[in-house]
A and B are shown apart, each in its own frame.
Chain A
């Protein structure tokens, strides 16, 4: 049973949920580098730009094809980890809610800090920062919720 050929739809759904978490973490890192780039010197900004390119390519070349292959692996309706019935599906749903709530709170706080923060940041950087927080909170809470207290394959 290789990574791209799970045993059944339930295992495939778990795998897709895990990949969604890792892809979100990678995307959050890319956006975080974009925010850092806005405040970095010219040399460092060049490195950060290249790192973003590598991360973006990883999502396009590694995650997207693997996601598509697993999603369509068993024919029938595509597997959707958000709608399946299981532990990892619940973890991804809860992470989605946490990500939304965190982003909402951050945006609300930012609106009250308009003179301190908003007036000093370019709109583009601020948007990248909010996207970073949304993706990072989703990925982080997913990893927390999906921690496995697995006792192993005991009979």
Chain B
């Protein structure tokens, strides 16, 4: 389940003062899904990635990036 994908989810969450549970509730996934995305163990679907970007009101590239970028 690991992939060359990095993410700024923890940073964005900290900036908005949201807990994993709050974010999970907001984008309709489980808290475990959020925590495993954050540690890079789960690569989310495009739908989840877009929902996360929309929630933080940033382009999806601000949330996820390829590791070599």
Question: What's the dominant secondary structure at chain A's contact region?
Answer: loop
Given A10-B24, A155-B14, A150 contacting B45 (CB threshold 8 A): no
A 135-155 to B, binary, CB cutoff 8 A, 1 in contact else 0: 000000000010011111111
Tally of contact residues, B, Cβ under 8 A: 28
CB neighbours of A148 from chain B (8 A): 32, 35-36
Q: How far is the CB of A28 from chain B (nearest CB, A)?
A: 24
CB neighbours of A88 from chain B (8 A): 30, 32-33
In Å, the complex CA distance between A47 and B67 comes to 56
Given A145-B1, A149-B41, A155 contacting B29 (CB threshold 8 A): no
Bin the interface of chain A by size. Answer: 20 to 34
Does any Cβ of A come within 8 Å of B8's Cβ?
no
Q: Is the CB of A155 within 8 A of B47?
A: no
B 20-54 to A, binary, CB cutoff 8 A, 1 in contact else 0: 11001100111111011111011011011000000
